[in-house]
Amino acid sequence: MMSQYNANISTQKYEQLEATSEYMETHYYNTKLSGGFSTVGLIQDNAFWADYAEFLLNRQSENEPFLSAKFTECSSPIQSFFAFCVLGMDFETANSAHSFVADESRGVHITAGSNLILYKKEIKEVQVHLRNDFMVCHRYHREDQYGKSTKTDDDEAIPNEFLINVPYRCQVIMTNVSPQPKEFNLLYQIPHGSLPMRYSKQMKSEPRTLRPYSTEFLDFYFYFPEAGVRGHYPSNVSIDERVTARGEFNRLNVVKKRTIEKAENIDDLVQVGTPQQILEFIRTTNLFDQTKGFNFQKILFLCKEKDFWTSLIQILRQRNIYDQSVWQYALVHKTDIPAIREYLMMKTNF
């Protein structure tokens, strides 16, 4: 027996032990009960739990559901979890039980199949109590390629004219000049007679916070489908259901074509000028002055007209200016043999 026992010991192999783990009960989500931590205060007294206590005292049966509109006072994750545990909500079949039908005029008809939570916003008249520690103003920017690449009167806060079917961006500028942070609701809307763009809303209200002595911007986009004088109602800032700051009411002049009293750059002439005015501009203007914004690419569409192109070639020859994109139209019109020869001679890869 002794020899058999020694044999068993000699054949036993080494066994790798797993890492040691330590577990403890947290009792609450992400809350460890260590270091003298107390759970007092995790669930604070508020109006929701007062409603729940009153419900428990007055309910007629155990199957009666508990409902309270004050569940929003349970703001922490732990309180929210327990609040939804006691609310009489049908979370499994709620999506299929409710019916939503759009109204032909405005709004939506909701038929509830069970208890539900419904959030809504409404605009109502409130008192105006303007203060001098908060400022709101609007700036408008043209958002097409012309507006982004050229300095025009659109760089002013309010352009003299707005063009139809051109995208614009309105910038709401909010400035807090007080030493205290501001929590407020901002109500803004697109101009009357315009249509929203880029996921902007016709009217929207949203809560915002602004630090002391700071400025923030909010952008929304729109365009005008028709000409006319359009009003843009001011953006309002409200605190505790009182309007404390607002912008100015703006009248926007919307036109089909810009009115330019004095054309000072090629972009203005291309929009409203005649071919003869453009030729005169090229004849008398320093084309290399960057402030004039001249580029032959901007007038190439006019070179398709033979008379305009012939006059342009003559002017450029007189000024000793050559541009390959202009001279190449000699192959289109096929009437100016010297221009064709000049184009082929200057074309390095021919």
- Beta-bridged to residue 215, according to DSSP, are 175
The 10s digit of each residue's pLDDT in 106-160 is 678 888 878 888 887 777 788 888 988 999 999 999 887 655 544 444 456 788 8
pTM: 0.55
Whether residues 134 and 245 fall in one domain:
yes
What are the structure tokens assigned to 334, written together? Answer: 């096929």
Whether residues 138 and 186 fall in one domain:
yes
Whether residues 243 and 302 fall in one domain:
no
Range of the domain at 271: 266-346
Q: What whole-number distance in Å separates Cα of residue 239 and Cα of residue 26?
A: 41
Q: What angle (nearest 5°) sits at the alpha carbon of residue 247, between those of residues 243 and 250?
A: 135
Looking only at the bridges linking them, the beta strands covering 162-163 and 250-255 are parallel
Residue 19 lies in a domain: no
The 10s digit of each residue's pLDDT in 176-204 is 999 999 999 999 999 999 999 988 999 99
Whether residues 250 and 282 fall in one domain:
no
Average pLDDT rounded to a whole number, residues 242-249? 92
What is the phi/psi pair of residue 297, to 5°? -65, -25
Residue 292 lies in a domain: yes
Whether residues 132 and 238 fall in one domain:
yes
Whether residues 272 and 178 fall in one domain:
no
- pLDDT band at residue 21 under the 50/70/90 scheme: confident
Residue 158 lies in a domain: yes
pLDDT at 45 over 80: yes
| Contact call for residues 333 and 306 (beta carbons, < 8 A) | yes
What are the structure tokens assigned to 15, written together? Answer: 């066994």
The pLDDT > 70 percentage for the chain reads 84
What are the structure tokens assigned to 103, written together? Answer: 């109204």
Neighbour-count burial for 60-71, b at 16+ CB within 10 Å, e otherwise = eeeeeeeebeeb
Which of 208, 227, 255 delimits the end of a domain? Answer: 255
DSSP structure class, residue 168: E
Which of 221, 255, 289 delimits the end of a domain? Answer: 255
Here the CATH number for the domain that contains residue 163 is 2.60.40.10
pLDDT at 213 over 50: yes
Residue 7 lies in a domain: no
Which of 236, 255, 274 delimits the end of a domain? Answer: 255
Whether residues 239 and 278 fall in one domain:
no
Going by C-alpha positions, the residue among 288, 322, 319, 172 that lies closest to residue 236 is 172
Q: What angle (nearest 5°) sits at the alpha carbon of residue 178, between those of residues 176 and 181?
A: 70
Whether residues 242 and 286 fall in one domain:
no
Which one has a higher pLDDT value, 66 or 263? 66
Whether residues 167 and 236 fall in one domain:
yes
Whether residues 316 and 247 fall in one domain:
no
Whether residues 273 and 311 fall in one domain:
yes
Residue 170 lies in a domain: yes
What is the phi/psi pair of residue 321, to 5°? -120, 130
Residue 289 lies in a domain: yes
pLDDT at 272 over 80: no
Average pLDDT rounded to a whole number, residues 253-260? 82
DSSP structure class, residue 261: S
pLDDT at position 160: 84
pLDDT at 252 over 80: yes
pLDDT at position 108: 81
Number of domains in the chain: 2
DSSP states of 120-132: -------EE---S
Write down the mean pLDDT value for the chain: 82
Residue 69 lies in a domain: no
Give the C-alpha distances (Å, rounded to integers) separating 280 from 31, 273, 275, 314.
80, 11, 9, 12
pLDDT at position 95: 57
Residue 237 lies in a domain: yes
Whether residues 242 and 336 fall in one domain:
no
The 10s digit of each residue's pLDDT in 53-75 is 999 998 888 888 898 888 888 88
